[in-house]
């Protein structure tokens, strides 16, 4: 059968190098001719951000960062950027920090240079998200796509093991969702599978040895590919669920993705056997001998669960504050945003079973 598809690749510079963040940032600020920079970094990242931006023309350092990017915070940050005549943004941190910089850029048009310290992947997409009144709204706008991304694995060395795992699985969720998202095509599927392979190989190395530079490099590389695939393919069922849960119930972003992922994969896997085989092979990189991807080894979901188990990944949403009585409300909120492209029809009953299993920490099971 001949191929027929439309693929969009976003334009962005990527600078990658261990210990080179400061040097690369200076290069990018010079290239952008930036003279008044706003550095967005949470209080916990202050020392790191100050160190790598010490040579920049910083006009404002913004340290208030909150997950899910509340609208009231965005409005104050935008006003500060305007009052300080900022001409460029530098974000140093995880997804919430990048998200705030994107929200500022959405209306100001200011260029962003993103310096990720986790594997969230927001830096490689043109997707923005803000929360107000318990509702998380997302959109797509090229204004929010960072002009450049500076990847430096040295900046991830202090990332706690638990957050390393959750953030890495959040990145892996970008790969999985991209296999059947609304704009999935052969190119972004190939990128997603390479991202999954890199993450499945790098994450166990980092968990065993926090100082493994090659493992950290591989995780950052995988996270970038995951986000690039996601930016092209669009948001699938998994991300719709997690955005609703995060906005409505204030659940932690990375941990929510880490818990929900295997349940969505288990739901969809029977309907996409070829994609599932390819994903199983990619996840095989997470075992010493690659056994998880060998013929006859079972499902991609089982391979993912072996990887998650080896990482000590979180398993239950109730551990992060979701109450069982919240589940019917969650179902009602998710149903209207379920993508038509999802391989399996999502009924209220199926969605409730999926969410309850994720809430309770049950073993993910297919309904086939």
Q: 13-156 — its CATH code?
A: 3.40.50.1970
Whether 208 shows a pLDDT value over 70: the answer reads yes
Determine the pLDDT at residue 294. Answer: 38
What pLDDT does residue 265 have? Answer: 97
Q: What pLDDT does residue 51 have?
A: 96
Q: Which of 69-78, 130-139, 349-358 has the lowest mean pLDDT?
A: 130-139
Residue 296 has a pLDDT of 38
> Quick one: what percent of the chain has pLDDT higher than 70?
96
Residue 363 has pLDDT above 50, yes or no: yes
Residue 365, pLDDT score: 84
Least confident of 38-42, 43-47, 290-294, 363-367: 290-294
Greater confidence (36 vs 2) lies with 36
321 Cβ partners below 8 Å, 6+ apart?
249, 250, 251
pLDDT of residue 293: 37
The mean pLDDT value of the chain amounts to 93
Give yes or no for residue 341 having a pLDDT over 70.
Answer: yes
Q: How many CB atoms lie within 10 A of CB 332?
A: 12
**Cα(206)–Cα(169) distance, integer angstroms:** 13
CATH topology of 13-156 equal to that of 161-360? no
Half-sphere exposure (Cβ direction) of 235: Cα atoms closer than 13 Å:
18
Mean pLDDT within 5-10: 85
CATH topology of domain 161-360: Dehydroquinate synthase-like, alpha domain (1.20.1090)
- Could you read off the pLDDT of 292-338 as tens digits, one per residue? 333 335 899 999 999 999 999 999 999 999 999 999 999 999 999 99
Q: How many CA atoms lie within 13 A of 294 on its CB side?
A: 7
Question: Do the bridges between strand 37-40 and strand 58-62 make them parallel or antiparallel, or are there none, so unpaired?
Answer: parallel
> In terms of pLDDT, which residue wins out, 291 or 33?
33
83 band by pLDDT with thresholds 50, 70 and 90: very high
Question: Mean pLDDT throughout 190-209?
Answer: 97
- Identify the pLDDT of residue 297: 52
Domain ranges of the chain: 13-156, 161-360
Mean of pLDDT values over 138-146 = 94
pLDDT for position 368:
57
pTM of the model: 0.91
Q: What percent of the chain has pLDDT over 90?
A: 88
The confidence score (pLDDT) of residue 1 equals 59
Q: Which two tokens stand for residue 293?
A: 């991807």
Confidence band, pLDDT 50/70/90 cuts, at residue 64: very high
Query: Above 60 in pLDDT, residue 288?
Result: no
């Amino acid at each position: 059968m001949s191929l027929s598809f439309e693929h969009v690749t976003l334009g962005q510079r990527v600078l990658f190098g261990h210990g080179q963040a400061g040097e690369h940032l200076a290069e990018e600020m010079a290239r952008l001719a930036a003279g008044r920079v706003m550095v967005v970094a949470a209080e916990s990242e202050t020392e790191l951000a100050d160190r790598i931006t010490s040579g920049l023309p910083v006009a404002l350092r913004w340290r208030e960062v909150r997950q899910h990017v509340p609208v009231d915070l965005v409005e104050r940050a935008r006003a500060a950027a305007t009052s300080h005549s900022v001409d460029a943004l530098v974000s140093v941190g995880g997804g919430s920090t990048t998200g705030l910089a994107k929200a500022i850029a959405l209306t100001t048009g200011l260029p962003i240079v993103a310096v990720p310290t986790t594997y969230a992947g927001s830096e490689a997409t043109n997707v923005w998200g803000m929360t107000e009144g318990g509702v998380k709204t997302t959109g797509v706008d090229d204004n929010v796509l960072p002009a450049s991304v500076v990847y430096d694995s040295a900046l991830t060395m202090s990332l706690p093991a638990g957050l390393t795992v959750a953030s890495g699985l959040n990145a892996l969720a970008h790969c999985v969702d991209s296999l059947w998202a609304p704009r999935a095509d052969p190119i972004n599927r190939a990128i997603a599978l390479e991202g999954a392979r890199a993450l499945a190989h790098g994450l166990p190395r980092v968990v065993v040895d926090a100082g493994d530079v090659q493992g950290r490099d591989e995780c950052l590389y995988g996270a970038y590919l995951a986000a690039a695939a996601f930016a092209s393919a669009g948001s699938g069922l998994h991300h719709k669920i997690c955005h609703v849960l995060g906005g409505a119930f204030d659940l932690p972003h990375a941990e929510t993705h880490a818990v929900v992922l295997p349940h969505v994969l288990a739901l969809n896997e029977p309907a996409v056997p070829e994609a599932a085989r390819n994903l199983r092979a990619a996840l095989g990189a997470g075992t010493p001998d690659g056994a998880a991807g060998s013929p006859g080894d079972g499902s991609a979901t089982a391979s993912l669960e072996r990887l998650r188990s080896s990482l000590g990944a979180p398993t239950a949403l109730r551990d992060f504050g979701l109450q069982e009585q919240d589940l019917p409300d969650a179902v009602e909120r998710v149903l209207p945003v379920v993508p038509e492209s999802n391989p399996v029809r999502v009924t209220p009953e199926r969605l409730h079973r999926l969410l309850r299993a994720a809430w309770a920490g049950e073993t993910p099971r297919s309904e086939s």
